[in-house]
A and B are shown apart, each in its own frame.
Chain A
Amino acid sequence: MEYQQILEEQFNNVIDEQSTDMLTQQAESITSGIASQFSMENIFNAMIEGRSIFDSPAVIESLKDLFFLEIKSALILSVEILSICIIIGVLKGLSDSFNSKSVSDISMLVCSMVIIGISISNFTGTYSLAADSVDTMVNTMEILMPVLIGILISTGAVASGTILSPMIIGAVTGISFIVKTFVLPALFTATVLGLINCLTKKDYVNKLAKLIRNASVAVTGLLLVILTGVINIQGLLSDTSDGLLINTAKYSLSTFIPIVGGFTADTVELFLRCMSSIKSVVGIFGIVLLVVLMLVPLIKILIIAVIYKITAALAEPITDSKISDGLNDMGSCLISIGAIMFFTSLLFIMFITTIIKIGGG
């Protein structure tokens, strides 16, 4: 067919294959092999041939593998913590019979510190996973945004392109700065404080930890609401003015140029159509990459969080309530980290959808 060739030529002119391949490779290490199934070429071919991009059973297979692998490694952690909890229970029973309070207290303190050590060392890994994932999402946006804005301007949406380009790039940079410098370290702080809290009998820093955690989630939510609102409304407005511009141009081409005017208008129309299909291919590549980048770490983090919650429930009858409370808090902190990753990727996906939507993709 003719239009496929035109599309392919335009696609090869517009897209720099090397940078998108680099992006996929970068995502590969975080997403454990799922990202490569959604390369730009695959999505482009699926678009041309009109078939689904999600039909490969390999995706489901690798997601399932990932799921069970994570559950297995999280279970090991849970068993470690539970065995220390059982030791604490035994020590408690012994100390009651020996009637020497201070020795058993010290041994229990040491045991809780071991639990804290295990949890923190595991948490550091999860934290760096989340930070890496946010980093890669920001990279994806920084590589794809100029391409998308360029395509957007060549579909004729000049006003939208010029207005949205600084807004979106500024928003992406700002978000990445705020999340990486304030929100994620604040969550780390909240987790450490929540764990320290289970060393003492009285609550000293419990409320502080909860305050920091809730504040960081609230800040991210607020950013999400404000930025999506502003950019979506701006997109809607400039879309209308661009539509006016394009229609005027097409009308005047076909009407005021005597003989070839009709052909020229049709050619312009075809060109714009092709560009907007390429725009949706690039946009969908970005969205799928962002979703995969969010999904895989989110699955890992949520599994670990659920395992922490289950361990807290199991440890409650044998140990004192402080330790199980600490484990429970740990689970909540992990869920908050997952939520922040989710918010970030949702925000980026909304930026891309705003661009795809303009000009009736």
Chain B
Amino acid sequence: MEQVYIWIKDIFLVIISLSFFQILIPDSKMEKYLKFIFSIIILAIISSPVIYLLKGE
């Protein structure tokens, strides 16, 4: 159960920091790349339980 709570907390923190960064960094060419990097991070976090399960077996 602990793992699941940590997982949710991670997703929550990344998404909130993503939305803050999007607002704080003024409009520029960097925004696209920033968004992309954050999407990659979210993807990694979402898929982390699968990796955890595979390693556990």
Contacts and interface: CB of A to CB of B under 8 A. Distances in A.
Contacts of B4: 185, 189
Nearest to A186: B4
Contacts of A201: 22
Given A196-B12, A197-B15, A200-B15, 15 more contacts: A102-B24, A105-B23, A106-B20, A106-B23, A109-B19, A109-B20, A189-B4, A189-B8, A192-B8, A193-B11, A196-B15, A196-B16, A199-B19, A200-B18, A204-B42
A-B residue pairs, 5 tightest by C-beta: A105-B23, A102-B23, A200-B19, A199-B19, A196-B15
A105 B27 CA distance: 13
Interface residues of A, number: 18
Contacts of A202: 35
Interface of A is mostly: helix
Interface of B: 1, 4, 8, 11-12, 15-16, 18-20, 22-24, 26, 35, 39, 42, 46
Contacts of B19: 109, 199-200
A246 B16 CA distance: 69
Contacts of A197: 15
Interface of A: 102, 105-106, 109, 181, 185, 189, 192-193, 196-197, 199-202, 204-205, 208
A92 B15 CA distance: 22
A200 B8 CA distance: 16
Contacts of B39: 204
A197 B16 CA distance: 10
12 contacts: A102-B26, A105-B23, A181-B1, A185-B1, A189-B4, A196-B12, A196-B15, A200-B15, A204-B15, A204-B18, A204-B39, A205-B42
A192 B12 contact: yes
B51 to A, nearest CB: 16
Contacts of B18: 200, 204
A196 B11 contact: yes
A167 B12 CA distance: 42
Contacts of A181: 1
